[in-house]
Amino acid sequence: MTDRALAVVRAGALTTVQDRGRPGHAHLGVPRSGALDGPAADLVNRLTGNPPGAAVLETTLDGCTMRPRSDVTVAVAGAPCPVTVDGRPAAWGAPVRVPAGALLDIGPAVSGVRAYVGVSGGIAVEPVLGSRSTDLLSGLGPAPLTDGTVLPLGRPTGPHARVDVAPQPAPPAELVLRVTLGPRDGWFTPEAVRAFLSRAYRVSAASNRIGLRTEGPALERARPGELPSEGMVLGAVQVPPDGRPVVFLADHPTTGGYPVIAVVRAADLPAAAQALPGTPVRFVAVHRR
């Protein structure tokens, strides 16, 4: 019997296991979690013949290196990056056959932040509340990978896709985030709401899986104090006391007391996951459909 597992040789800056997360438990204080760039995670599953929602690896900036213990098909997408097998260049954004014992290296991102690595059979760590995702806020799910971690793989369920290179959006040079105002835009001065929707922000280096932090004009409050804690949604733009908007990403807290000035459309969040620190950000108001 082959040993279906993946040995981690170089874990990289932050590599986690991600699937579609664990929605439905927010009332217990459990964040949603899951891949930040969902379309990229879906793509690598499709390319490797996995069902949608199989667990993949999410790397941060500098990739990772692995040695599968059995023959596998892998695919890398999301942030563009060099891929090699035993030192020989291999395709990015397409299925790649990796023989047992070969060294698969996912190099540093050429642009963007997070690369996704799909492996035929999926990463088969034990699910927690129906998900294999690492949740960095609450600590649920597997710990971030470390050198030497051995990840179990599931059984492949389907043939890999027959494509050469799948088209993908390029990581953004400017991040345009469409928002609907509220629910707490009334907590800010009209000037602050105008500034939020017209001034230039930049992605802060303090961004992580919990939130995309920004640098830019501080938003002045029309009323002081804190709200009683209230439920928070994915994409909520929370404004802490320093006045700089924070866009909540997958590992966001389920409740919070800072006012939410607006909510980013879900379709714009994958691009936010790929925006490097320093990327210009614009918030653009749209009407609810």
Residue ranges binding another protein (CB under 8 A): 23-30, 128-129, 138-140, 180, 182-183, 228-233, 235-236, 253-256, 260, 263-266, 288-289
Cβ pair 93, 75 in contact under 8 A: yes
* Nearer Cβ to another protein (81/179): 179
Q: How far is the C-alpha of 2 from the C-alpha of 70, rounded, in Å?
A: 6
At its nearest, how many Å lie between another protein and the CB of residue 182? Answer: 6
Q: How far is CA 28 from the centre of its chain?
A: 23
At its nearest, how many Å lie between another protein and the CB of residue 52? Answer: 17
* Nearer Cβ to another protein (155/288): 288
**CA distance between the termini of the chain:** 54
At its nearest, how many Å lie between another protein and the CB of residue 287? Answer: 11
At its nearest, how many Å lie between another protein and the CB of residue 187? Answer: 12
* Nearer Cβ to another protein (72/137): 137
Closest CA to 58 of 171, 183, 145, 166: 145
* Nearer Cβ to another protein (7/129): 129
* Nearer Cβ to another protein (2/229): 229
Contacting residues for 280 by C-beta, under 8 A, at least 6 apart: 173, 174, 175, 200, 201, 202
At its nearest, how many Å lie between another protein and the CB of residue 268? Answer: 11
Q: How far is the C-alpha of 139 from the C-alpha of 34, rounded, in Å?
A: 13
